[in-house]
Structure 1
Amino acid sequence: MCGIAGIFANTPEREIDSQILVNMAAIMHHRGPDNYGYCNPKEVGVGFSHARLSIIDLNESRGRQPFFLHGGRVIFAHNGEFYDYQRLRGELTAEGEYFETKSDSEIVPHLYLREGMDETLKHLRGEFAFSLYDEQQDALYLVRDRFGIKPLYWTQTNNHIVFGSEVKTVLAHPEVNAEFDSHGLFHQLIQVMVPGTTAFKGVHQVEPGYMLKITRKDGKFNIEKTKYWDMDFPTPEQRPRMDDDYYIKGVRDQLLEAVQLRLTADVPVGCYLSGGIDSCSILGLASAAAQDPIRAFTISFDNDEYDEASIATEMARATGAEQDILKLNAELLYDNFSRTIWHTERTIYNTLAVAKLMMSQHVTHNDYKVVLTGEGSDELFAGYPAFRKDMFLHGMEGLNAEQAAEWQQTLAESNKLFQGAMLPKDEYVSEKINAKVGFTPSCLQPWLGCSELARNLLTPEIREELADYEPGEAIADRLDEDFLTDRHPLDKAQYVWIKTMLEGQILTWGGDRVDMANSMEARPPFLDHHLAEFAATIPPEMRIKGSKEKYVLREAMKGLLPTVLYERQKFAFMAPPAHTDDKKWQKLKGLFERYASKEKLEKAGFIDADYVQTLMRKQESRDTDPADKVQIDAVLNHVLGVMLLHHHFIEQDLPQLAHDKAQELGWVV
């Protein structure tokens, strides 16, 4: 697990500065503190750099990237993990291939030279983002894994394509200007992003399941964007009709294999453990597969309504795991808010991101580099309350009045804390999303419903620029109609979540960015694409059976889970919002005074300072509805996040900061 960076010039004759390449690696030193490398051959106009976190093949001289193979024909740099790579290496070795390292990364250039990129991608299993330059084709490939577990950003300047594992890596290049994009800024305030975009003008993401092939001719770039994988739910006619046991056994077998593959490492592997069945299932399977007790890391909050530690402890005891509980309070969460935004590079609606960053720090301090996590289960098996709502509203024809009342009651009771965040406070309809999906999925409604708040928060100049902008339309334009047509409403709701909230939130500020902030690799077995492809075939009425979400997963894990977990409904994992406790509220106000005071807001010119004060007063009023307070809390966190993005990435000189970091580390060439 590492960080990659690179520069591709518009002509082969343009020299790539070695120190700039190293500076780009240095500014993401947290992703790879164990070693670094760079490669920029003469008269080629391309350079890669790499910051390494040693997990597979700990030999520093042998595992160093970028790889420069086959007489220089291929240059390759990789961030992530490839599983089942030993089998592939064995097959290639039997066919006469010679490997210079024991690294999983080296399989890609060997496969590419034998089979080409399209065929190579079919073999790859895991979480990854990589760059590969082929001198014969004079082509640069940028590739991201199927779900977007690993990040990859890029931009185009007058003379170069610049790419890297983090936005700050791209902004560290002297030709790249750090400037907010008005549309990206708007989406920072409403939480949900348009796939492939960032807050910064001209800085893009390689989308999950996509490959960019970039070639050059006569000083100009040609950029081909190709989708190589997507979450493909079958139509009703295509879906196999099997009994319950077929799906239950299939999930159990596929998940066990995914866990076993992700236990492969040359360092100890632990597990994250909350009170949900997802992380508990992973811990149960990992404990069964491992020879020694698993170390289980649990977050505990100082508010009983949001704390799941006691339930997690039941699972730890049942598996014989060594549980390590990190108790977090207001001081820790808000004292680390600014540092978290430096790493997330986007705003956050809840301090859960800060809690995750504090946990990864705790894991690293306990000499662990790798943990297995439960992310992806809710996406595959319809675990979120929003999915139950959409299933009830759009996918349950013939539901009688008594059943309907039961569904509504259980949904409201089990998720009342999250009304305004995980569930919409009021219905919001986007005509463009309706036209493509058939309805506006409930997962998007809380955030799209903040649109009017967001417009009021923007200064009049930006508000005028965005007068005709409809965020739902921008999101709808990025959804592939081929994977929505003729699908069940639950399939559609899950697909939309996977394309928006999974990549843009859970795997970003809830995953890679806050994990790698402390040089820690998180591996989510549920997002193994073999398991995902099987899960897509499960009939909707078996994903949500009656009022029970994730039915098939529950049955598959029934023997592993304590009764309290097997019977428990989904409880969204969030940190307590600031308005729930005066100490937290005062901490948040202190951060506003430091980074988002009236003077600072007016000087920056993005956010209307008077409207921020209006929201502050409303949040302090006893007359404000609880669901409104949840929504306002999220919006205020976004406002603070915008100002911290401005502070970290626009006010600071990122190229100079990267150079200073390289000097500090001794990474000087």
Structure 2
Amino acid sequence: MCGIAGIFNQRPSETPDAQTLVNMAAIMHHRGPDGFGYKIVDNTGVGFSHARLTIIDLNEERARQPFVSADGNLMLAHNGEFYDFKRIRADLTAQGARFRTKSDSEIVMHLYQREGLEETLKHLRGEFAFGLYDQKEDSMYLVRDRFGVKPLYYTHTDEGVVFGSELKVLFAHPSVKRKFSSEGLFHQLIQVMVPGSTAFEGIHQVPPGHVVKVQRKEGKLELSEIKYWDVNFPQESEYPGDEVDEQPYIDGVRKHLLEAVQHRLTADVPVGCYLSGGIDSCAILGLSAAGTQTSVKAFTIGFDSSEYDETPIAQEMAEATGADHHIMRLNADDLYDHFVKTIWHTERTIYNTLGVAKYLMSQQVNQADYKVVLTGEGSDELFAGYPAFRKDMFLHGLDHLPEGERKAWQELLEKNNKLVKGAMLAREEYVSAAFNTKMGFTPSCVQPWLSVSSVALPLIAKDRRSAVEDYDPGKAIADTLDEDMLIGRHPLDRAQYVWIKTMLEGQILTWGGDRVDMANSMEARPAFLDHHLAEYAFTVPPHLRIKGNKEKYVLREAMKGLLPETLYKREKFAFMAPPAHTDPKKWKAVEKLAEQFLSKEAVEEAGLLDFEEVQRTFAKHESDEVSIDEKVQLDAVINHMLGVQIMHHHFVKTDVPAMAAQRARELDWHA
């Protein structure tokens, strides 16, 4: 895992500034502290740079990126991991390829030379983002993995295209504008983003499973977007009936997950595991322990609130597998003390301080001299683990049930989701006309955030508010979804598709994943998001994902022999940090941050929020007349208000190009 950056100028005669490329690498030193490199292709206007975290091929000199092909035609900068690369290397070598490194990254150039990009992508298995320049074509390809585990941003300036692993990498280039868009601001305040967008004007993400091609034609750069993979569930009519034999699916899930874990244990450095009290991370730890000869290091976050703390179950699993168990215990005021630093890394707002907890945990992983951990992310997406999926299954997938059974389902949903109501579940039903038109209903996963629109709109500064008064955030999101992937699908499949396209990529894999892990030079490998496993999971009938009231049924059965009985029987619990309203110390920490970032002076200087509405929001939060689920919602809104103000401080008010140059000087990284 590393950080990548690059420049593709409109005119070949405009050679990228070498020190700017170095500065772009330096500002993401946290992603790659083990070395850096840069290359400029003469007379093309193209240059790449790279900050390296050594995990495979520890020889820094030999494996330094960017790579250039032997014939000089191709240049590559890669972030991430390609699994099964040894088999691919051997096959290519048998065909005459000559490798100069032991790195997994180098396979891209050899595959591309022999088969072209479309076929190359079919071979690539893992988490990755890369830039590839083809001098003969005078084209650059920006490629992102299938689920968006690895980030990749780009923008088109007056001079050309600039890309990088993080927003701050783009902002280190002096020509890249650092300005909030009104729509981006709105989405930051309601949590859910439009896929492919950011908070900033003109700054885009390469969507998961896509390639952005940049080609120079007649002195101009043409950008096009190509989808190479998508979440493709079967047609509802293609699923077998309720009487289907379960065992082949149970065996298939076990087989594919074991293979995914084994691939992700490949590294030239020690590999650990994140461990919570859920079956996902426990399954990963169990399979990892079974597949290695040494004790696995397991890392767990513990909270000081018994309602949110999962350490007892994690300890039980660690003992069962003989893991070397490290528990980080967090107190209420630990989280907001590191909120500002976390936003520097997430580059977007966060509704819950779980992102801060993950940031602090990656810090401890780094201090324990680990660079790689396996994680359980992706399991809930594949096997329908979230409360929102059970709700949609009940509302739209089980309308054939007798009234008595439906009532029992409804009571169970209400009883078991109290802690997430107002955050992961809407306080009240919210209907988006655009979603209803696109897919037949408004998925429960987007309802809590879209329902905040009426709260968020008045918070936007008056001169910006007029630009979004008629803006429909639900329509903006729904418009990005591929209708071909929704038509004819089971309601549960449609709900999972929307979550994967929105919350997984925009939240779990960003501020809950890569951005807070790589903040401390730590690579997370989500085995469940192996696309071979995912493609198999898509074929599992909905009634085997949620059977009765039991979510992730087929996964539970596949992992039954590994899991402690209490965990096997336990219902899914959303992994969240305790919200601010649950602890007086934490609320005091919020107020302290508000004094700095939500003061009248700070709000008016940024020009993003309406100060009077900010005050009203705090007053409402402190009112005794507000219900608990409304407090949960207001906690999220206040986190978002703090977040946009902190983002303004980090990325607009601060001179980012100067900061990047200073960082390069401190590291003694120079052209």
Q: Which category of TM-score, normalised to the shorter sequence, fits these structures?
A: over 0.9
Alignment of 1:427-438 (within 5 A): 427-438=429-440
The corresponding residue for 1:205 is 205
In 2, Cα distance between the equivalents of 1:664 and 1:440? 51
Aligned to 2:197, the other structure's residue is in SS state coil
Aligned to 1:195, the other structure's residue is in SS state coil
Aligned 8 A contact 1:31 1:518 in 2: yes
The corresponding residue for 2:277 is 275
In 2, Cα distance between the equivalents of 1:21 and 1:252? 45
In 1, Cα distance between the equivalents of 2:169 and 2:466? 32
The match for 2:474 among 472, 475, 489 is 472
Per-residue displacement from partner, 1:165-186 (whole Å, max 9, x unpaired)? 0000011101011000110100
In the alignment, residue 452 of structure 2 is paired with which amino acid?
Answer: C
In the alignment, residue 518 of structure 2 is paired with which amino acid?
Answer: M
State whether structure 2 residue 491 is matched by structure 1 residue 489.
yes
Structure 1 residue 398 displacement after superposition: 1.7
In the alignment, residue 638 of structure 1 is paired with which amino acid?
Answer: H
The corresponding residue for 1:230 is 230
In 2, Cα distance between the equivalents of 1:506 and 1:138? 36
In the alignment, residue 457 of structure 1 is paired with which amino acid?
Answer: L
Per-residue displacement from partner, 1:519-539 (whole Å, max 9, x unpaired)? 000000000000000000011
Aligned 8 A contact 2:514 2:523 in 1: yes
In 2, Cα distance between the equivalents of 1:287 and 1:657? 43
In the alignment, residue 649 of structure 1 is paired with which amino acid?
Answer: F
In 1, Cα distance between the equivalents of 2:413 and 2:89? 49
Aligned 8 A contact 1:394 1:489 in 2: yes
Aligned 8 A contact 1:457 1:607 in 2: yes
State whether structure 2 residue 351 is matched by structure 1 residue 336.
no
Structure 1 residue 11 displacement after superposition: 1.8
Aligned to 1:325, the other structure's residue is in SS state strand
The corresponding residue for 2:318 is 316
Per-residue displacement from partner, 1:387-421 (whole Å, max 9, x unpaired)? 00000000013212221122122222222011001
Alignment of 1:422-571 (within 5 A): 422-571=424-573
Percent identity, aligned pairs only, is 65
State whether structure 2 residue 592 is matched by structure 1 residue 595.
no
In the alignment, residue 652 of structure 2 is paired with which amino acid?
Answer: I
Per-residue displacement from partner, 1:117-141 (whole Å, max 9, x unpaired)? 0000000000000000001111100
The corresponding residue for 1:419 is 421
The match for 2:642 among 618, 640, 643 is 640
In 1, Cα distance between the equivalents of 2:502 and 2:44? 38
Structure 1 residue 201 displacement after superposition: 0.5
In the alignment, residue 330 of structure 1 is paired with which amino acid?
Answer: A
In the alignment, residue 480 of structure 2 is paired with which amino acid?
Answer: R
Per-residue displacement from partner, 1:444-481 (whole Å, max 9, x unpaired)? 00000000101011112211111110000000110000
* Aligned pairs, number: 669
In 1, Cα distance between the equivalents of 2:240 and 2:286? 29
State whether structure 2 residue 640 is matched by structure 1 residue 625.
no
In 2, Cα distance between the equivalents of 1:311 and 1:408? 28
The corresponding residue for 1:156 is 156
Per-residue displacement from partner, 1:86-120 (whole Å, max 9, x unpaired)? 00000000111100000000000000000000000
Aligned 8 A contact 1:300 1:307 in 2: yes
Aligned 8 A contact 2:386 2:572 in 1: yes
The corresponding residue for 1:129 is 129
In the alignment, residue 346 of structure 1 is paired with which amino acid?
Answer: R
The match for 2:585 among 565, 583, 586 is 583
The corresponding residue for 2:103 is 103
In 1, Cα distance between the equivalents of 2:316 and 2:414? 26
The corresponding residue for 1:184 is 184
Structure 1 residue 12 displacement after superposition: 1.4
In the alignment, residue 419 of structure 1 is paired with which amino acid?
Answer: K
Aligned 8 A contact 2:182 2:465 in 1: no
The corresponding residue for 1:659 is 661
In the alignment, residue 298 of structure 2 is paired with which amino acid?
Answer: A
The corresponding residue for 2:143 is 143
TM-score normalised per structure 2: 0.99
Structure 1 residue 437 displacement after superposition: 1.0
Aligned 8 A contact 2:581 2:631 in 1: yes
In 2, Cα distance between the equivalents of 1:663 and 1:239? 60
In 2, Cα distance between the equivalents of 1:4 and 1:145? 14
The corresponding residue for 2:362 is 360
The corresponding residue for 2:290 is 288
The corresponding residue for 1:405 is 407
Per-residue displacement from partner, 1:198-236 (whole Å, max 9, x unpaired)? 001100000000001110123211112100000100002
In 1, Cα distance between the equivalents of 2:571 and 2:365? 28
Aligned to 1:607, the other structure's residue is in SS state coil
In 1, Cα distance between the equivalents of 2:77 and 2:69? 11
The corresponding residue for 2:91 is 91
Structure 1 residue 239 displacement after superposition: 3.5
Unaligned runs of 5+ in 2: none
Q: Which stretch shows the higher mean deviation, 11-20 or 333-342?
A: 11-20
Aligned to 1:237, the other structure's residue is in SS state helix
The corresponding residue for 2:610 is 608
Per-residue displacement from partner, 1:555-591 (whole Å, max 9, x unpaired)? 0000000110001011001000111011100000000
In 2, Cα distance between the equivalents of 1:553 and 1:396? 21
Aligned to 1:140, the other structure's residue is in SS state strand
Aligned 8 A contact 2:14 2:45 in 1: yes
In 2, Cα distance between the equivalents of 1:599 and 1:48? 40
Q: Which stretch shows the higher mean deviation, 307-316 or 147-156?
A: 307-316
The corresponding residue for 1:253 is 255
The corresponding residue for 2:194 is 194
In the alignment, residue 237 of structure 2 is paired with which amino acid?
Answer: E
In 2, Cα distance between the equivalents of 1:256 and 1:330? 37
Aligned to 2:535, the other structure's residue is in SS state helix
The corresponding residue for 1:47 is 47
Per-residue displacement from partner, 1:232-284 (whole Å, max 9, x unpaired)? 00002334675200100000000000000000000000000000000001001
In 2, Cα distance between the equivalents of 1:71 and 1:330? 57
Aligned to 1:11, the other structure's residue is in SS state coil
In the alignment, residue 298 of structure 1 is paired with which amino acid?
Answer: T
In 2, Cα distance between the equivalents of 1:306 and 1:610? 34
Aligned to 2:41, the other structure's residue is in SS state coil
In the alignment, residue 447 of structure 2 is paired with which amino acid?
Answer: Q
Per-residue displacement from partner, 1:605-634 (whole Å, max 9, x unpaired)? 111111111111111122210000000000
In 2, Cα distance between the equivalents of 1:419 and 1:192? 16
In 2, Cα distance between the equivalents of 1:157 and 1:587? 40
In the alignment, residue 527 of structure 2 is paired with which amino acid?
Answer: P
Aligned to 1:215, the other structure's residue is in SS state strand
Aligned to 1:207, the other structure's residue is in SS state coil
The corresponding residue for 2:6 is 6
The match for 2:373 among 362, 371, 374 is 371
The corresponding residue for 1:171 is 171
TM-score normalised per structure 1: 0.99
Q: Which stretch shows the higher mean deviation, 456-465 or 226-235?
A: 456-465
Aligned 8 A contact 1:240 1:537 in 2: no
In 1, Cα distance between the equivalents of 2:245 and 2:140? 47
Aligned 8 A contact 1:11 1:217 in 2: no
Q: Which stretch shows the higher mean deviation, 128-137 or 617-626?
A: 617-626
The corresponding residue for 2:60 is 60
